[in-house]
Amino acid sequence: MSKSPFISLCTEGTIRNAAESLMAGHLVAFPTETVYGLGADARNPDAVKRIYEVKGRPADHPLIVHISSINQLDKWAQDIPEYAISLARAFWPGPVTLILKRRDIAKDFITGGQETVGLRVPRDPIALALISEFEKISNSAIAAPSANRFGQVSPTSSSDVLEELGDFLTSADLILEGGTSSIGIESTIIDCSGIAPVILRSGYVTKEEIELELGVNNLVEFRETKIKFSGSFEKHYAPKCQVILGNEIIANGAFFALAEIETPIGMVRLASPATVEDFARSLYSTFRLADKEGFSTLNVCIPQGNGIAVALRERLVKAARGR
Ligand code: TXA
Ligand code: MG
């Protein structure tokens, strides 16, 4: 087992140290409002290579480059369509990733050899402080996937990150403590490399909100595409236990539903989120809890309706297909 990384509470000094760690080629896991990310210097091939090793992720999967503001767009992307600028203005900082035509600075080791690069400005204050500080000293940005082992559930707290990656990080790497992720599911990914936007992964920002912003009503979602995005791998988002959707009653099975739904007799309730937003916030921690408590099944009542419920259904259906 390697030496544990250092979990650090965020003070001004910590942010500076963390930026310097990135500069030195180490990894820094940091909070974002969606899920925790595992960051490296986006221009350092050796540092980025370590992300893949620590995650156990195939090297041709592209990484999102996290930038501090819309002013950095031009540095990483070119031929940016008007609609993409509108989306960046409307949703950054926030839980949206835009896929754009790359500039040379975004090398193959970031884009998985594709001609596009994924860019995001998160709104979590610790993430923003870290990215800004790192940009100042490096003329680079932070490449970061979710801070989990490949195919596992995304982490929504620093202790989740430690549990996932502690054995693979070194004592020179850092995990920044920033509380529980306020949204709890990954960013909405919008492909902006064509004449019209395409949603590649649903998230907290919904199809309807994007359409409203762009003044269209026919946005395409999940079109068959050659672009690689990890959401397209069936086993993603799944805990180790079997996820069952609907109202099957399994004696001693774990149960997860909105508070308004009663616990079926004989089942063990793990969480009672009051709203769909709370449901999203507790989804991954409930998956983790079910595994930790040794349940072999987790019965989930899927939230109905539009909005973030769409992103939850997408993840739950994949989780139910399982491993
Ligand atoms: O909320 C999030 O997006 C979190 C936080 C840390 O920012 N990040 C995240 O990263 O979920 P990851 O690597 O676990 O998922 C990002 C997805 C991957 O499936 C990747 O394939 C896709 O974004 N992606 C990145 N660059 C891309 C590109 N150029 N074209 C298509 N998909 C891309
Ligand atoms: Mg991920």
CA torsion, ordered 151, 156, 157, 158, to nearest 10 deg: 40
User: How would DSSP label each residue in 215-246?
Assistant: T-S--EES---S---GGGSTTTT--SSEEEES
Closest residue by Cα to atom 7, ligand 1, is 37
Strands in 268-271's sheet, in edge-to-edge order, are 242-245, 297-300, 254-256, 268-271
**Lowest-confidence segment of 164-168, 263-267, 272-276 by average pLDDT:** 263-267
Tokens of 132: 């800004």
pLDDT for 221: 83
Phi, psi at 317, each rounded to 5°:
-65, -40
Question: Would you place residue 323 in the very low, low, confident or very high pLDDT band (cuts 50, 70, 90)?
Answer: low
Model confidence pLDDT, tens digit, residues 168-219 = 999 999 999 999 999 999 999 999 999 999 999 999 999 999 999 999 998 9
User: Does residue 253 line the site of ligand 1, with CB under 6 A?
Assistant: no
Q: What distance in Å separates the CA atoms of residue 256 and residue 268, rounded to the nearest whole number?
A: 9
The model carries a pTM of 0.95
pLDDT for 10: 76
User: Does residue 193 line the site of ligand 1, with CB under 6 A?
Assistant: no
The alpha carbon of 140 is separated from its chain's Cα centroid by a whole number of angstroms, namely: 21
Domain spans of the chain?
6-221, 242-320
User: Mean per-residue pLDDT for 210-237?
Assistant: 71
Model confidence pLDDT, tens digit, residues 291-320 = 999 999 999 999 999 889 999 999 999 899
207: Cβ contacts below 8 Å, ≥ 6 apart: 199, 219, 221, 310
Which residue stretches of the chain are H helix?
12-23, 45-55, 73-76, 82-91, 108-111, 125-138, 158-165, 207-214, 276-292, 308-321
Q: Ligand nearest 64 Cα, by number?
A: 1
Closest CA to 16 of 136, 177, 158: 136
Closest CA to 146 of 229, 227, 63, 73: 63
Looking at CATH, the fold of the domain delimited by 242-320 is given as Rossmann fold (3.40.50)
Q: Ligand nearest 152 Cα, by number?
A: 2
Model confidence pLDDT, tens digit, residues 93-134 = 999 999 999 999 999 999 999 999 999 999 999 999 999 999
pLDDT for 234: 46
Report yes or no: 48 and 109 within 8 Å, Cβ to Cβ. Answer: yes
Q: Ligand nearest 237 Cα, by number?
A: 2
**Lowest-confidence segment of 3-17, 44-58, 283-297 by average pLDDT:** 3-17
User: Does residue 184 line the site of ligand 1, with CB under 6 A?
Assistant: no
User: Does residue 102 line the site of ligand 1, with CB under 6 A?
Assistant: no
| CATH architecture assigned to 6-221 | Alpha-Beta Complex (3.90)
pLDDT at 5 over 80: no
Identify the DSSP state of 3. Answer: P
Question: Would you place residue 225 in the very low, low, confident or very high pLDDT band (cuts 50, 70, 90)?
Answer: low
pLDDT for 1: 43
Q: Ligand nearest 119 Cα, by number?
A: 1
User: Mean per-residue pLDDT for 241-260?
Assistant: 88
Minimum-distance ligand 1 atom for the alpha carbon of 63? 25
Closest CA to 267 of 298, 246, 245, 303: 298
Helix, strand, coil share of the chain (percent; to 5)? 35, 20, 50
Kindly report the number of other CB atoms within 10 A of residue 25's CB atom.
16
Largest CA distance in the chain: 59
Question: Would you place residue 227 in the very low, low, confident or very high pLDDT band (cuts 50, 70, 90)?
Answer: low
Closest residue by Cα to atom 12, ligand 1, is 145
Identify which of 142, 176, 186 to mutate to test ligand 1's pocket (most ligand atoms within 8 A of the CB).
186
pLDDT, the chain, mean: 92
3-class state of residue 299 by DSSP: strand
Model confidence pLDDT, tens digit, residues 107-116 = 999 999 999 9
Whole-number Å distance, alpha carbon 260 to ligand 2 midpoint, is: 30
Closest residue by Cα to atom 20, ligand 1, is 229
Tell whether omega for the bond before 93 is within 30 degrees of 0, i.e. cis.
yes
